[in-house]
């Protein structure tokens, strides 16, 4: 079955638009709808010397022929020079997101795949924007979301995301962890078709606190919560020392890892699969995946960008849409 996905290429001066153009050169079994400026896409394709045939959104989803791309046009106020940011185009990025959300709300697209954005430009344009995740949560009225990165062989979710390290311990509460675990389990069940997921839960402190000698959060917060949740039937292993959790002995028996903070879990995943991983926002009423890299302004317009992460983000969005079942 051919699916239709909305794709926002992100910062117009960044690498996002050309990665999408590169990706469709081989065609696609599913219909990708670029929610972006048609003129921008044509200009970037010409700069790269790549063929690009844009078509309108019509009827039922149809596969893409090589070099073909469906587009929902969004006006970009000023001409874009690859690698050169322009705050006058900051609102354009948000307008693309809003248009893509409408396509999903109207049932025309089953998922959203986002390219990298430059937060500073959006804020300089007078729009408060701390990131895709927060923006999409606010637009959809979602109170709690979970960030998870996934490669071909590893899924890592985060209990906290972009916090200074000194604030992490205070953020690790039983209430927060229960919400995160509940969302993670439900999404693995309903969007990844894993009936009874097994989750490895990392401790917060070195050696998972070493019986309280290196910290008490495991004894006072994490272990009591896991014990209570296990009694409801959830398969939760931990708290485990993060320095040995990411080994075959443990990973072979798990469907996902829950890390306590950003740099506890993501360096391992990115070392294992950088450029082939997708960023997934769990807990939203929509399916949203993204690339695992930034705008790469230094590569924009060069044709030297690697679309591996975009390919993974699209593949994961398709997998989630095909696996989606009612909770």
pLDDT for 130 equals 86
Domain of 316 in residue numbering reads as 1-142+284-326
Residue % of the chain over a pLDDT of 90: 93
Q: Which residues are annotated as a binding site?
A: 132-133, 162, 207, 262, 270, 279, 288
306 and 262 share a domain? no
List pLDDT tens digits, range 83-98. 999 999 999 999 999 9
Are residues 88 and 25 part of one domain?
yes
Q: Is 137 a residue whose pLDDT tops 70?
A: yes
Do 252 and 291 sit in the same domain of this protein? no
326 pLDDT above the threshold of 80: no
Q: What is the predicted pLDDT for the residue at 131?
A: 87
Q: Are residues 91 and 155 in the same domain?
A: no
- CATH number, domain of 315, equals 3.40.718.10
* Per-residue pLDDT at 327 exceeds 60: no
pLDDT value of residue 8: 98
* Confidence band, pLDDT 50/70/90 cuts, at residue 162: confident
Q: Which residues are annotated as a binding site for a divalent metal cation?
A: 162, 207, 262
Do 194 and 217 fall within a single domain? yes
Q: Is residue 107 located within the same domain as residue 56? A: yes
pLDDT at res. 133: 87
Same domain, 134 and 271: no
pLDDT at 71 over 70: yes
Q: pLDDT tens digits, residue range 257-294?
A: 999 999 999 999 988 887 889 999 999 999 999 999 99
Q: Are residues 262 and 289 in the same domain?
A: no
DSSP codes of every residue in 72-132: EE---SS---TT---GGGHHHHHHHHHHHHHHHHTTS-SEEEE----HHHHHHTT-----H
pLDDT at position 274: 78
Convert the pLDDT of each residue in 246-264 to its tens digit: 999 999 999 999 999 999 9
CA-closest candidate to residue 38, choices 126, 102, 85, 99:
99
Number of domains observed in the structure of the chain: 2
What distance in Å separates the CA atoms of residue 203 and residue 201, rounded to the nearest whole number?
7
| 156: β partners | 149, 257
By CB atoms closer than 10 A (0-12, 13-18, 19+), residue 3 is middle
Helical packing angle, 90-105 and 132-140, nearest 10°? 50
Q: Distance between CA 160 and CA 182 in Å, rounded?
A: 15
Q: Are residues 194 and 223 in the same domain?
A: yes
**CA separation for the pair 185, 201 (Å, rounded):** 12
Within this chain, do residues 167 and 241 fall inside the same structural domain, yes or no? yes
Q: Could you report the per-residue pLDDT of 294-303, keeping only the tens digit for each?
A: 999 999 999 9
| 31 and 104 together in one domain | yes
The neighbouring-strand residues paired with 291 are 278
Task: Output the known binding site for substrate.
Answer: 132-133, 270, 279, 288
Tens of pLDDT along 36-62? 999 999 999 999 999 999 999 999 999
Read off the DSSP letter of residue 82. Answer: T
Answering whether pTM is above 0.75, one says yes
- In 3D space, the residue among 131, 156, 136, 159 whose CA is nearest the CA of residue 146 turns out to be 159
- 205 shares its domain with 122: no
**pLDDT of the residue at 325:** 58
């Amino acid at each position: 079955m051919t699916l239709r996905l909305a794709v926002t290429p992100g910062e117009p001066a960044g690498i996002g638009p050309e990665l999408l153009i590169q990706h469709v050169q081989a065609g696609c079994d599913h219909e990708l709808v670029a929610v972006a400026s048609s003129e921008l896409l044509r200009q970037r394709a010409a700069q790269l010397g790549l063929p690009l045939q844009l078509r309108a959104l019509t009827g039922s989803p149809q596969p893409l022929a090589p070099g073909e791309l469906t587009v929902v046009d969004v006006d970009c106020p000023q001409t874009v020079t690859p690698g050169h940011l322009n705050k006058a185009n900051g609102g354009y990025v948000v307008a693309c997101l809003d248009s893509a959300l409408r396509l999903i709300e109207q049932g025309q697209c089953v998922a959203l795949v986002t390219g990298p954005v430059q937060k500073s430009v959006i804020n300089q344009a007078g729009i408060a924007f701390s990131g895709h995740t927060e923006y999409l949560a606010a637009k959809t009225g979602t109170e709690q979301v979970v960030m998870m990165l996934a490669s071909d062989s590893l899924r890592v979710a985060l209990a906290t995301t972009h916090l200074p390290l000194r604030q992490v311990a205070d953020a690790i509460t039983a209430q927060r962890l229960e919400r995160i675990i509940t969302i993670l389990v439900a999404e693995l069940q309903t969007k990844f078709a894993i009936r009874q997921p097994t989750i490895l839960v990392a401790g917060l402190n070195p050696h998972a606190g070493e019986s309280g000698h290196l910290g008490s959060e495991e004894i006072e917060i994490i272990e009591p919560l896991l014990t209570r949740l296990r009694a409801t039937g959830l398969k939760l292993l931990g708290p485990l020392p993060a320095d040995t959790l990411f080994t075959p002995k443990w990973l072979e028996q798990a469907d996902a890892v829950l890390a306590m903070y950003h740099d506890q879990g993501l360096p391992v995943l990115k070392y294992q699969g950088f450029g082939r991983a997708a960023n997934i926002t769990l807990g939203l009423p929509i399916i949203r995946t993204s690339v695992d890299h930034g705008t790469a302004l230094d590569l924009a317009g060069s044709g030297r960008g690697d679309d591996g992460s975009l390919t993974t983000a699209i593949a994961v969005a398709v997998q989630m849409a095909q696996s989606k079942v009612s909770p």
